[in-house]
Amino acid sequence: MSMSTLAEKSRVEPPPKPENTFRDVISVQAIVVTLTVGLLAYIQQEPVFAPKVEVGFLLLVLGPLSGLWRISRAVNRTSAGDVYLYTSAVRQYARQMFLVSLLLVGGVSVFYWAHLLPGQDPAATATAEPNA
């Protein structure tokens, strides 16, 4: 082997050790829950359906949801191949929390659209719409 080949091999970084913590997943999940609770608190004050609220909420939640998805798929490309950044247990938990978060956000959205959330009065919304 030539001297340059040995120098190149010595510069190759070892693959990262997978994280054995659930802290990242729990932090991102907490953001999803906090945003959902924030939406519910807003609905208590302003129970009338407004598309801008729903769109804003969905845009806010997309960040944490994509974070959960990325944790479950995160890899580091090395010369030896792809190495997952998290252990399989953390990745599995991130996938589960992604699905739970999706159901939570979807459920709140459907109930919001149907005016079935606490503080929303379907009869009041029907009478508030102008007939003229």
Q: Is the separation of the CB atoms in 118 and 53 below 8 Å? A: no
Half-sphere exposure of 132 (CA within 13 A, CB side): 0
Query: Please, which residues bridge with residue 77 across strands?
Result: 82
The model's confidence at residue 80, banded by pLDDT at 50, 70 and 90, is confident
Does the pLDDT value for residue 8 go beyond 50?
A: yes
Q: How far apart are alpha carbons 64 and 55 in whole angstroms?
A: 15
Q: Mean pLDDT for the chain?
A: 76
For the segment 19-77, what is each residue's pLDDT rounded down to a tens digit?
667 888 888 888 888 888 887 777 766 666 677 777 888 888 888 888 889 888 988 88
pLDDT at 126 over 60: no
Assessment of whether the complete model's pTM goes beyond 0.75: no
Cα–Cα distance, 39 to 74 (Å, whole number)? 30
